[in-house]
Amino acid sequence: MFPLRDHNPSGRTPHVTYGLMAANIIAFFWYSANFAEGAALAQFYDAFAVVPLEISQGEGYGTLVTSMFAHAGLMHLAGNMLFLWIFGDNIEDEMGPVTYFLFYLACGVAAALAQVAADPQSRIPTVGASGAIAGVMGAYLLLYPKAKVDVLLILIIFFRIFSIPAFWVLGTWFALQFFGGFTTRADDGGVAYWAHAGGFVAGLLLCLPLWTKRGGPRFWTRTDGHPPHPETRYSYSQNRMPKVPRRQPPPRNPGSWGK
């Protein structure tokens, strides 16, 4: 199940969100072209990725920021940019560009530190913007829990787009990070589940002052958890869970018996 878009338009052009996307994309293609696989790529990750053991020893603090702009592959980059594009514009709209940019960086640093805390002796490099973007998702959940999000459901050969509230999309995603964190060894490599969970919690907590300023629970009462402006409506998105019709067996022909 993949989120495709939300129904929550922003009131102004999200220049910082677009700039962050551009920076990540340009950085990826730059180091992909200049550092081939093998020793050169390993040297690049050693310089720009977070290595928990180094942070634990008081080294490599700069990588807490540089690691946000490095990715492990094209699909890793594409997935992160999709989530940033969906959820980032609204948080930038609420916070303003400067505060939003600092918030994004703070969430990314908190996410990396959460991964370090999960396995401080690990030598596995950690890269990606997903921790910072998880913080954006945490803020989105706090501000717009009932905003509609279109997701693509894929069941083998069955494809369908339908709309569900943000708290189901983001809440399920967050629960999966905790499940993955507790069932996967931190030093096995792969997905940095604790970075995702840490970034999400950091984003939610850092957004609390803004939510309180907007009125706290009264903000939810006033908006019913929806965006504070009219939502975008798409003609081809469904508003309920998809149903797979049962196939009826063909009628039997009485005259065909014994032939």
**Which of helix, strand or coil describes residue 126?**
strand
pLDDT at 238: 55
Query: CA-to-CA distance for 45 and 127, rounded, in angstroms?
Result: 8
Mean pLDDT, residues 232-238 taken together: 65
Mean pLDDT, residues 227-240 taken together: 67
Residue linked to tokens 């869970």: 241
Range with the poorest average pLDDT among 80-84, 151-155, 228-232: 228-232
**Which of helix, strand or coil describes residue 147?**
coil
Residue 187: pLDDT above 80? no
Residue 36: pLDDT above 90? no
Mean pLDDT, residues 52-74 taken together: 93
List pLDDT tens digits, range 97-149.
999 999 999 999 999 999 999 989 999 899 999 999 999 999 999 999 999 99
pLDDT at 251: 52
Residue 183 has which token pair? 């069932």
Q: Determine what percent of the chain is predicted with pLDDT higher than 90.
A: 58
Query: CA-to-CA distance for 109 and 114, rounded, in angstroms?
Result: 9
CB atoms within 10 A of CB 120: 13
Query: CA-to-CA distance for 13 and 253, rounded, in angstroms?
Result: 65
Query: CA-to-CA distance for 142 and 211, rounded, in angstroms?
Result: 8
pLDDT at 153: 83
pLDDT band at 243 (very low <50, low <70, confident <90, very high): very low
Mean pLDDT, residues 165-170 taken together: 93
Residue 197: pLDDT above 70? yes
Query: CA-to-CA distance for 158 and 54, rounded, in angstroms?
Result: 46
pTM of the entire structure? 0.86
Of the candidates 133, 189, 108, the one whose C-alpha atom is nearest the C-alpha of residue 17 is: 133
Mean pLDDT, residues 22-38 taken together: 88
Please report, as a single letter, which amino acid is at residue 131. G
Instruction: Let me know if 138 is exposed, middle or buried by CB neighbors in 10 A (0-12, 13-18, 19+).
Output: buried
Structural domains in the chain, CATH included, are: 2-243 (1.20.1540.10)
pLDDT at 244: 44
Helices 97-118 and 130-143, interaxial angle, to 10°? Answer: 120
Please report, as a single letter, which amino acid is at residue 156. I
Mean pLDDT, residues 49-76 taken together: 93
Q: Are 19 and 26 in contact (CB under 8 A)?
A: no
pLDDT at 236: 56
Range with the poorest average pLDDT among 29-43, 53-67, 80-94: 29-43
Residue 224: pLDDT above 90? no
pLDDT band at 237 (very low <50, low <70, confident <90, very high): low
Query: CA-to-CA distance for 225 and 11, rounded, in angstroms?
Result: 18
Of the candidates 5, 171, 187, the one whose C-alpha atom is nearest the C-alpha of residue 84 is: 5
Pairing of strands 158-165, 148-155: antiparallel
